Chains A and B, each alone.
Chain A
């Protein structure tokens, strides 16, 4: 069961039922909360933030692994939620929508950080570059960090080669552990569509990986 599931209003998912009933999300209590926030009720927005902040922090930390930056990214996520909430159309649950924003924000952050690092390094000598590369990122626990860090960097690079939709789908499936049936219910899509999209996204990752392996190491 995926870690987002606790917040999902689809009780059928929690029961592991094979019959997926598509819940009219708008008529759930959370739907009413969203409606209040959309109408400008600040206490409703605060409730949304308080309800999902732990989950958002956890997703961000899972992807970026930089404790110092987690709060900044979370602020950007909720600011985006605040400004885009009016356009939220109840096609998915609120947490699915927030999850998508969070994942996009994390990969944006990693991309910008990479660009900043390249610009910064271009002004440094080789020795300085080596020193900086050895000093960052600071792992949370220094033990088994090296290979895990390399694997993480690698998968982050691969994920950067797929679209936002594919990224979101892959994250929900492979990281959060949702089944195809659950994803179909959450995203209001046909199961076969989900299967095909997932398969294409994985194929893209394989191709990106082949290209990355062929490219000379920096």
Chain B
């Protein structure tokens, strides 16, 4: 669509487009087709115009029925507070999934990042040659028992 058409289309609808506009339409098939289609659709839109002779007046008691509708909607909105709908549960499920994913990734990074106790240290704990003599342990136990009796 060429600029002259976009610029002057509104004027064309009012029958005020310039000669240059019409000359362009005569020369440019693409613009001519699109303008014709737009005008045709605008014509179709007249079908949505209310017909004055078939006008419909609000029936008696319309306002009263409207207030009932509003009260009913207010009640349903109030209940809606206590019984959240599908979107609420969808949000909860999504939040739970996010939480699980977060926890999972935390655990994984913790396991890989923290290598646990050094194997050499564990071996040293179980290394009997490195431990204190057995007699020393026994003496410490006897002292503990003696103080307990006292």
Within 8 Å by CB of A70, from B37, B38, B45, B56, lies B56
CB contacts (< 8 Å) of B54 on chain A: these are: 61, 140-141
- Known contacts being A141-B54, A199-B6, is A152 close to B48, with CB within 8 Å? yes
**0 or 1 for each of A41-62: is its CB under 8 Å from B? (1 = yes):** 0000010011001100111011
**0 or 1 for each of B1-38: is its CB under 8 Å from A? (1 = yes):** 10000100110000000000000000000000010011
Please count how many residues in chain A sit with their CB below 8 Å of the partner chain's CB atoms. 47
Within 8 Å by CB of B47, from A75, A79, A141, A155, lies A155
The reply to whether B48 and A53 contact each other, CB–CB distance below 8 Å, is: no
CB distance from A74 to the nearest CB of B (A): 7
CB contacts (< 8 Å) of B41 on chain A: these are: 155, 158, 202, 205-206, 209
Complex Cα distance, B138 from A114, in Å, reads: 92
The reply to whether B10 and A206 contact each other, CB–CB distance below 8 Å, is: no
Of B37, B47, B54, B63, the most chain A CB neighbours within 10 A belong to B47
The reply to whether B1 and A203 contact each other, CB–CB distance below 8 Å, is: yes
Q: B110 at the A/B interface (Cβ < 8 Å)?
A: no
Residues 40-99 (chain B) with a chain A CB within 8 angstroms: 41-42, 44-51, 54-59, 62-63, 65-66, 69-70, 73
- Known contacts being A79-B70, A174-B45, A198-B10, is A74 close to B62, with CB within 8 Å? yes
Complex Cα distance, B51 from A62, in Å, reads: 7
The reply to whether A202 and B38 contact each other, CB–CB distance below 8 Å, is: yes
Q: A129 at the A/B interface (Cβ < 8 Å)?
A: no
CB contacts (< 8 Å) of B1 on chain A: these are: 203
CB distance from B57 to the nearest CB of A (A): 6
**0 or 1 for each of A112-145: is its CB under 8 Å from B? (1 = yes):** 0000000000000000000000000000110000
With contacts A61-B56, A140-B54, A205-B38 known, what are 18 further pairs, Cβ within 8 A?
A50-B63, A61-B50, A61-B55, A62-B48, A70-B56, A71-B62, A71-B65, A75-B62, A140-B51, A151-B44, A171-B45, A174-B42, A174-B46, A195-B10, A199-B6, A199-B9, A203-B34, A206-B37
Which B residues form the contact surface with A (CB < 8 A)?
1, 6, 9-10, 34, 37-38, 41-42, 44-51, 54-59, 62-63, 65-66, 69-70, 73
Which A residues form the contact surface with B (CB < 8 A)?
3, 46, 49-50, 53-54, 57-59, 61-63, 67, 70-71, 74-76, 78-79, 82-83, 140-141, 148, 151-152, 154-156, 158-159, 170-171, 174-175, 180, 195-196, 198-199, 202-203, 205-206, 209-210
